[in-house]
Amino acid sequence: MTYHLPKLPYEFNSLEPYIDIRTMTVHYKMHHAAYVDKLNKALEAYPDLQSKSVYELLYELERIPEEIRLAVRNNGGGHANHSFFWPSLSPKGNGEPSGQLAELINTAFGSLDGFKAQFTQAALGLFGSGWAWLCVDADEKASITTTPNQDNPLSGDLFPLLGLDLWEHAYYLNYENRRVDYVTAWWNIVNWNNVGGNYLSFKAQAKVDEVSGKVKGFLNKVKGG
Ligand code: MN
């Protein structure tokens, strides 16, 4: 199998006014598509790796042959991160976290507002291009983290539940240099059902291998990879 651009779960103008149609179109059709093309090119001579999900590639990056490791890290990361990002957005948002996701957030951050404040601070504090994330570790402990470039938290043994693209290509056409306005707007379109689903999938499917300490049985099932 080779990797492909997943279908967007809404129209290019669906996220307006928070994300404008031009930004969405360029972001999906040019940026994300380029990561997919370059990932496929990097793996052309490695058919055995093509059968893995892109999340599996990133989780065990050290096992990728050195001559293509950086290409997989950057372009596989770009593909994985954007495939994860699109369904985490919803035209009308989805209210608030509920059920086990709400419990996770309240336990780790005190409240939803506390979580939003810490996440926003992390997003604004990231220097240059990268992502902000809500993750859990193998013990299901929640944390907020940032990654540079297109690095994915999986490469550091953290499992993302929610991610925010902080590259200027994600917001500059509309917000120019005002990252804070983009982050503030983004909270209105977070698809909490999707985030909650990511957590429930992890809880249901992730099994820690006692010898390697690595999580098995989850990454091949992550959607969109
Ligand atoms: Mn992007």
Residue 169 C-alpha to ligand 1 middle, in angstroms? 6
Closest CA to 82 of 1, 16, 8: 8
What is the average per-residue pLDDT within 213-217?
A: 81
Determine the pLDDT at residue 216: 81
Q: How many CB atoms lie within 10 A of CB 155?
A: 17
86 Cα to the center of ligand 1, angstroms: 10
The answer to whether position 26 is within a domain reads yes
Answer yes or no: is 13 within a domain.
no
Q: pLDDT tens digits, residue range 102-128?
A: 999 999 999 999 999 999 999 999 999
Distance 20 CA to ligand 1 centre (A): 14
What's the domain count of the chain?
1
Specify if 31 maps to a domain.
yes
Q: Is 11 domain-assigned? A: no
197: exposed, middle or buried (Cβ count in 10 Å: 0-12, 13-18, 19+): middle
pTM for this predicted structure: 0.95
Cα 74 to middle of ligand 1, angstroms: 12
pLDDT at 54 over 70: yes
What letter would DSSP give residue 6? P
Q: Could you tell me the distance, in angstroms and rounded to a whole number, from the CA of residue 163 to the centre of ligand 1?
A: 11
* CATH code: domain of residue 30: 3.55.40.20
Task: Note the pLDDT tens digit of each residue in 155-188.
Answer: 999 999 999 999 999 999 999 999 999 999 999 9
DSSP H or E run through 71: helix 66-71
